[in-house]
Amino acid sequence: MTRCAGLLWDTPLVFKRLVEDSGVTCELVTPQLLAAPFFRQSFVTLIVPTGFANRKYSSLLPALKAVSSRINTFLEKGGRMLVYGAGDDRPDSYEWLPFKVSYRQEYASCSLAAEGVGDHLKLLEGFEGGKVDCDGWFPLHDGETLLVCDGRAVCIRKAVGKGVVYVTSVHEYPSRCFLSSFCEAGDETLF
């Protein structure tokens, strides 16, 4: 088994340290590298942090759009993605994903309710506190709703080929347990 993730962002983040502390090899992939035609790397999981569509914080969205077909191929072949809230009320925030997702930005602190069973229950494992911050919700999507906040979807999952995508607006780091299991597979997938 291998544990390997690509963290897609413009500059180094503390998030990378959390991924590595979870026993996962983590590589920072900048927007320039991501969109470069020569870039080829194998990962189990790609992680897109909160705020990726907000021009104040990141230039990642244009790169994601430029490589949308490669993202689809990565997922079809068994890759995994963990995608956070766009951080901006842009209608095109998730157009690069191979399924429909619309996002409404609105910060809220709420109690989460889980739908069904599965790995998503590990997402906030060990989180202490009654309420969780969310940066928005997903009013329309082609995925399966996993977590709701005041009746609104804040975490969805969609299988794509042999892969899977989790999209969440929960504004908390994922648990080490979730990262460890979500970034582990028998083999890496070429991006």
Q: Is residue 82 a contact partner of residue 174, using CB atoms and an 8 Å limit? A: yes
Q: What is the pLDDT of residue 96?
A: 98
For residue 175, give the DSSP letter: P
Segments of the chain scoring below 70 in pLDDT: 127-129
Domains of the chain, first to last? 2-190 (3.40.50.880)
Helices of type H across 89-185: 176-182
**pLDDT value, residue 135:** 95
pLDDT digits (tens, 9 = 90+) for 146-186: 999 989 999 999 999 999 999 999 988 999 999 999 999 99
Task: Please give the angle made by the CA atoms of 98, 3 and 137, to the nearest 5 degrees.
Answer: 40
Q: How many CA atoms lie less than 13 Å away from 96 in the CB half-sphere? A: 22
Please tell me the pTM assigned to this model. Answer: 0.95
